[in-house]
Amino acid sequence: MDSIPLQMDPGANMPRVIEYVDPIEGCTGYLVYDGENCRLAAGGFRVQPGLTAGTLTELASRMTLKQRVLGINVDGAKSGLAFDPNSPAHAEVQARFLSFLSHELTTRYSMGCDMGTRFEELEAIAASVGVPSVKYAVKHAQEFDDEEYFRRMALLDATVGGRTVGRRRAGHALAHAAFGAAESAGYRADGLQVAIQGFGNLGRSAAESLVEGGATVIAVADEHGCAVDPRGLDIPAMLGNPMSMPVTEAVAPLRRLPRQALFMLPVDVLVLAAVENALTAEQAATLSVPVVVVGANMGITEAVEMQLGDRGVVVVPDFIGGIGGSASMETLYGPSTTPEPHEVLDGLAYLMRELTGDVLAGARQRTISPRHVALEMAANAVVSPDRRPYGSSPYSGAARRPKGNRLASAAARRSGLIATGENL
């Protein structure tokens, strides 16, 4: 897995690893904090055979990268168990691990789900060991009382457009990163032609939000094949099918192509929402798509990303397109009053378009890649253990719009040219 250096003061950002050994199964578990810069650290919990502290340390650093790019006051973290999630004992092992982490979960660590875990199950297990919520640390860090904290958490279970906010948020963010990138490249949302690789929860949610925003999804591919309709696929009907159903079964036989055919279609935007290394160098050399938005972790290699950029393709890297989980926490917890369910998603859409537009504007102005612009933003982000985690992103609706100039603004702030009370 690639390492993404944040170029911050290493003395202030050293990882801290908390190790656990299960007394019955003998498996190991870890919680990794990527530094101690902020009062809150956030990241997912995975259960995976052979999982190591080294892998979690690298994943925690990527979580820090996402928080810094967003400009929020949160450190990265990651936790996990080296265990088979399909084992009959998995719930008991997770319960013992969460009990072991109970102090961290109520003071500093905001846990989410990851490979081998489901958020609803984690919440139930946490409650069974006396932890009110796996994100309860947010309550203290954000200075909420219990009533306000649980009122906001309940919004994740609220339905907007037929699916819950919790299920929609990552794909909704990915869709609006695609809209932001398309706008930057000169395309309008209405009639935007999109192809999506992957139709799991991320791809389905992205498709739903893309269609809501006026785009036309003309192709979707999964491991079984590619469903194509130049007039636009019936995404609402496809969302009604079981997630296990191959996408090709949703269209007539003449609309079924091999899955790799997705990369030969002349669409405006290609969204990668499934697997690592989805696009090879050979495919990238002939790709006739002006905008590629990566939502899946490591959806393409940095070499392929650079190859596409050299060909003039606008590429939104995975730590921007796949930032929806972290970004949604800003729109859920950041507002001064409890938002409505649709406002969480509306705020997330605004944030993602602003963030994507800022990164791409900076890349154009400086003639460098979007990845390098975003990495510099992360490296220059200002954080403080005395500030609340959420509510200060420069991309929230109430904030000043950086318009490709966030780095200059940060430098000015450090020089005392901008009042310290201004959101950066």
For 297-322, what is each residue's pLDDT tens digit?
889 999 999 999 999 999 999 999 99
Query: Which residues have C-beta within 8 Å of that of residue 360, sequence separation ≥ 6?
Result: 180, 181, 184, 314, 316, 370, 404
> Can you tell me the distance from the alpha carbon of 138 to that of 330, in angstroms, rounded to the nearest whole number?
11
CA dihedral 116, 217, 155, 334 (to 10 degrees): 100
Class of domain 10-142: alpha beta
- Torsion, CA 179, CA 181, CA 187, CA 191, rounded to 10: -30
Q: By the 8 A CB rule, do 250 and 237 touch?
A: yes
Residue spans per domain, the chain:
10-142, 164-424
DSSP string, 121-180: HHHHHHHHTT-S-TTTHHHHHHT--HHHHHHHHGGGGSEETTEEHHHHHHHHHHHHHHHH
CA distance 269 to 289: 6
In angstroms, the CA 29 to CA 18 distance is 8
Is residue 276 classed as helix, strand or coil in its secondary structure? Answer: coil
- For the domain made up of 164-424, the CATH class stated in words is alpha beta
Who contacts 408 (Cβ-Cβ below 8 Å, separation ≥6)? Answer: none
| Cβ atoms of residues 80 and 293 within 8 Å | no
Count of alpha carbons within 13 Å of 195, Cβ hemisphere only?
26
Query: How large is the C-alpha radius of gyration of the chain?
Result: 21
**Tokens 């393409």 correspond to what residue?**
300
pLDDT score at 405: 61
Q: Given this chain, do its domains 10-142 and 164-424 carry the same CATH topology?
A: yes
pLDDT of residue 418: 38
For residue 418 the two structure tokens come to 């901008």
Asked if residue 380 lies in contact with residue 409, where contact means CB atoms within 8 angstroms, the answer is no
CA atoms within 13 A on the CB side of 238: 31
Q: How many CB atoms lie within 10 A of CB 181?
A: 29
- Give how far Cα 247 sits from Cα of 22, 161, 351, Å: 41, 21, 31
Distance CA 300, CA 320 (A): 13
- Strand 41-47 to 28-34 pairing: unpaired
pLDDT for residue 396: 84
Region of 106 on the Ramachandran plot (φ > 0 left; ψ -120 to 50 alpha; else beta): alpha
- Residue 212: CB atoms within 10 Å: 16
Residue-level pLDDT at 275: 86
* Predicted local confidence at residue 400, as pLDDT: 52
Distance CA 131, CA 125 (A): 9
Non-local CB neighbours of 64 within 8 Å, separated by 6+ positions: 6, 13, 34, 35, 75, 76, 378
Q: How far is CA 157 from CA 146, 174, 355, 389, in A?
A: 17, 20, 26, 22
Is the pTM higher than 0.85? yes
Q: How far apart are CA 33 and CA 57, in angstroms?
A: 8
Q: Kindly list the averaged pLDDT for each block of 10 residues, start to end, along the chain of length 424.
A: 38 81 98 95 96 96 95 96 97 98 98 93 97 97 97 96 93 98 95 96 96 97 96 96 94 94 96 92 95 93 95 96 96 96 96 96 94 94 91 78 57 43 33
Asked whether the beta carbons of 185 and 194 are under 8 A apart, the reply is no
Structure tokens at 219: 């192709």
As a whole number of angstroms, the distance between CA 93 and CA 99 comes to: 10
Q: Write down the pLDDT at residue 406.
A: 62
Q: Given this model, what pLDDT does residue 403 score?
A: 57
